[in-house]
Amino acid sequence: MSNFNENVLYKKYMQCKDKQYKKNNDHKFILFLQAISTNIMDKKNYQYINHINSPIDLKEINRNELPAVCDELRQFIIDEVSKNPGHLGSNLGVVELTVALHYVFSTPYDRIVWDVGHQAYGHKILTGRRDRFYTNRQFKGLCGFPSPKESEYDAFGTGHSSTSISAALGMSVASLLKDERNRQVVAVIGDGAMTGGLAFEGLNNTSVDKNNLLIVLNDNQMAIDPVQGGFTQYLVDITTSRTYNKIRFNAYRILKKLNILNDDKKNRIIRINNSVKATLTRQHNIFEGLNIRYFGPVDGHDVDGLVRIMSEIKKFNGPKVLHVITKKGKGYEPAEKSATVWHAPGKFNVETGERKVADPNAATPPLFQEVFGETLLELAQKNKKIVAITPAMPSGCSMTIMQKELPSRVFDVGIAEGHAVTFSAGMAKEGLIPFCNIYSSFMQRAYDNLIHDVALQELNVVMCLDRAGIVGADGATHHGIFDLAYMRCIPHLTIAAPRNEIELRNLMFTAQQPNMGPFVIRYPRGKGTLIDWRHPMKAVAIGKGECLKPGKDLAVLTIGTMAVNATKAIQKIENEQNSSIAHYDLRFLKPLDEALLHEVGKNFKQVITIEDGVINGGFGSAVLEFMSDNNYNIHLKRLGINDTFVEHGTPEELYTMLGLDADGIAKSIAECLKDAKSMKFEKFNV
Ligand SMILES: Cc1ncc(C[n+]2csc(CCOP(=O)(O)OP(=O)(O)O)c2C)c(N)n1
């Protein structure tokens, strides 16, 4: 493709993106142009993967050529992710595993359940989505995680960690019940995801119910940050115990040669075999202790070896674990060297390994997570009672800032949100002040822990919910849009949402004061709005909102950072038409600022509430209930997310789609003002 054409197409793409196609929502066309303009259609001459349109094509390739297929698949992933950002390290680490699984098993009849699913790019590329892969994680494009709606090869939808064993076990048990005995079900789970309690619950159940499950344990000693906890060390121990593994392999081979490892005798023999091995080596294998046959550890980058062992073990009935050792970022040096950074590196130059990051010296507002991280350290340095807890996201939430300075007071508990909350509750019971930081959508995992272990006991745990609201390209599994609705009904909670960085600091300062009880602070992903934000902190009055702007014709009520778009929308409307609009920031969802709401109820017929969460049961519902309970007869429009899951895209695209960008809000305000002119409202105040 000539440069001239590229330039023309790129210009056209930019025009379309900005103007009419954005309005028409013709995103497929936009994505097509984008593909051309970024040179993606100028395909590399891949000898193998350009011809693999389904796993059937893969199976036709000679086994000795599989390493070449892996090389191409790896290169394809690197090229694509360098231009269109996504997860890199985890995908490079499972290239051989992915090829081997699709070579040995007959998908989609056989099921592969990818835990978390951030490592399923190779799987997507081999299962008919190669030509669309340039749309990965983009609005209307492929989902960055397995999605059964997208492909029958995506056996189960994932995004949150540690579900694969339970889901795959359910499928395996269902297959036996339905008499589909030849169906193989495979759960692929990382050592990070194995730290989640749900994975252990699944294992426990796997050991008793009749099933044919294969669990592939992808052990790379990393989550996003290094994996924490005893289980990792345990995996190192069973991996490195040569005597143990030698005895186990030999015993397995002999039993198989003698043909006495049949189904009837298998369990008994395996148990005796396990006890002998354990006694001889003083090394116990947790899987075998649970009566789950253990194979490995094997080299996860030896595709031929993987094909060989998987072909063997798929003949065995009953549950089994295949332990594979892989390297996160395998095959791309920068990613191998620095796994945390290259988990999801953003755009980068493939040749130089240089990441395209914003200039750190530029005067731009900070990320909310950085404000959290720096403020936490500042508070902890003054208040010795403060401790910090994260379920495996120290870098993601910037708790690493405190970890560096005060390591003994920071606890990374593994991918274990429920445990993180109850562990925090235990610390609070002993008089400490835990700041437990969990991404809003992952907090869903810890709902009962919050109710039963924190709220009911009125413990002073500060729950900081990062990534609240729309998160962007990670999509439906990751948007933090339910928290306001699901927390509002819990007694004893204080629930707050800062509208900017200074407020986040002030709320954190307030929450660590004595006897505050359970305190939730939710804030969004990405940058704030203030360059000058390191102001001295001051306490915020609990349950107090603020009038940001007076007005007469209509009141806009916001919570959190939705105030920013609302402010722009109000300015736009007031510039365009002769109207006067009031803006209130409630700041607290609980307790509500009743005085402020009475003022609104008494003075306005038209009210709009705006939240970056689900409408059902959220902030707007709280205001509506208040107005109804207090007999205010007003017309109240709730803006937020309707009863639906929101797909992936940039936050800007998604806010536009949801009518929550400045233009969308302005449109709603204009409609309400128009309605007000044509309708009569009775107002009877109490
Ligand atoms: C419930 C939940 N908590 C946190 C996360 C964020 N997260 C995404 S990937 C990941 C690490 C997973 O580690 P591992 O399973 O070892 O896979 P690897 O990335 O090492 O391949 C984490 C913590 C998540 N997806 N789900």
Place of tokens 């008919």: 128
**Is-contact 126 57, C-beta < 8 A?**
no
CA distances from 452 to 179, 402, 459, 495 (A): 41, 29, 11, 17
CA angle 475, 476, 478 (to 5 degrees): 70
Question: How large is the average pLDDT for residues 44-49?
Answer: 89
**Is-contact 595 547, C-beta < 8 A?**
no
Cα Rg of the chain, angstroms? 28
pLDDT above 90: residue 255: no
Instruction: State residue 20's pLDDT score.
Output: 47
Q: Whose CA is nearest to atom 21 of ligand 1?
A: 90
By three-state DSSP, how is residue 555 classified?
strand
Sign, CA torsion 538/379/435/525: positive
Distance 472 CA to ligand 1 centre (A): 18
Atom of ligand 1 nearest to the CA of 224: 11
> How much of the chain exceeds pLDDT 90, in percent?
78
Average pLDDT score over the chain: 90
Strand runs (DSSP E) across 300-412, as ranges?
320-325, 386-390, 410-412
pLDDT category at 680 given cuts 50, 70, 90 is: low
Spatial separation of the C-alpha atoms in residues 558 and 574, rounded to whole Å: 18
Instruction: State residue 227's pLDDT score.
Output: 84
Atom of ligand 1 nearest to the CA of 196: 1
pLDDT above 70: residue 38: no
Q: How do residues 354-391 score in pLDDT, each as one tens digit?
A: 999 887 778 899 999 999 999 999 999 999 999 999 99
Is 429 noted as a catalytic residue in this protein?
no
Question: Which residue among 91, 116, 389, 390 has the greatest number of ligand 1 atoms within 8 angstroms of its CB, and so is best to mutate?
Answer: 116
Lowest-confidence region among 209-213, 366-370, 505-509, 607-611: 209-213
Spatial separation of the C-alpha atoms in residues 576 and 573, rounded to whole Å: 5
Catalogue all structural domains in the chain, each as residue range(s) with its CATH number. 43-241+283-333 (3.40.50.970), 368-524 (3.40.50.970), 546-678 (3.40.50.920)
Distance 144 CA to ligand 1 centre (A): 14
**Is-contact 611 558, C-beta < 8 A?**
yes
Instruction: State residue 260's pLDDT score.
Output: 58
Spatial separation of the C-alpha atoms in residues 315 and 231, rounded to whole Å: 29
**Is-contact 149 140, C-beta < 8 A?**
no
CA 638 centroid distance within chain = 27
Counting every residue written for the chain, the total comes to: 686
Distance 400 CA to ligand 1 centre (A): 17
Question: Which residue among 95, 145, 161, 340 has the greatest number of ligand 1 atoms within 8 angstroms of its CB, and so is best to mutate?
Answer: 161
Spatial separation of the C-alpha atoms in residues 139 and 651, rounded to whole Å: 10
Structural tokens at position 189: 């789970």
By three-state DSSP, how is residue 183 classified?
coil
Q: How do residues 200-239 score in pLDDT, each as one tens digit?
A: 999 999 988 789 999 999 999 888 888 888 887 778 777 6
pLDDT category at 270 given cuts 50, 70, 90 is: low
Distance 354 CA to ligand 1 centre (A): 25
Q: How do residues 97-111 score in pLDDT, each as one tens digit?
A: 999 999 999 999 999
Question: Exactly one of 124, 130, 293, 328 is catalytic; which is it?
Answer: 328
Is 417 noted as a catalytic residue in this protein?
yes
Distance 161 CA to ligand 1 centre (A): 6
Instruction: State residue 32's pLDDT score.
Output: 59
Is 72 noted as a catalytic residue in this protein?
no
pLDDT category at 253 given cuts 50, 70, 90 is: low
517: left (phi over 0), alpha (psi -120 to 50) or beta: left
Buried b (16+ CB within 10 A) or exposed e, 115-143: bbbbbbbbbbbbbbbbeebbbbbbbbbbb
Distance 90 CA to ligand 1 centre (A): 10
pLDDT category at 244 given cuts 50, 70, 90 is: low
Global pTM value:
0.90
Q: Torsion angle, CA of 341/345/348/353, rounded to 10 degrees?
A: 20
Spatial separation of the C-alpha atoms in residues 420 and 392, rounded to whole Å: 10
The ligand 1 site (C-beta within 6 Å) comprises 90, 93, 116, 118-119, 160-161, 190-193, 220, 222-224, 328, 392, 415, 417, 442, 445
pLDDT above 90: residue 138: yes
Instruction: State residue 229's pLDDT score.
Output: 80
Question: Which residue among 200, 221, 415 has the greatest number of ligand 1 atoms within 8 angstroms of its CB, and so is best to mutate?
Answer: 415
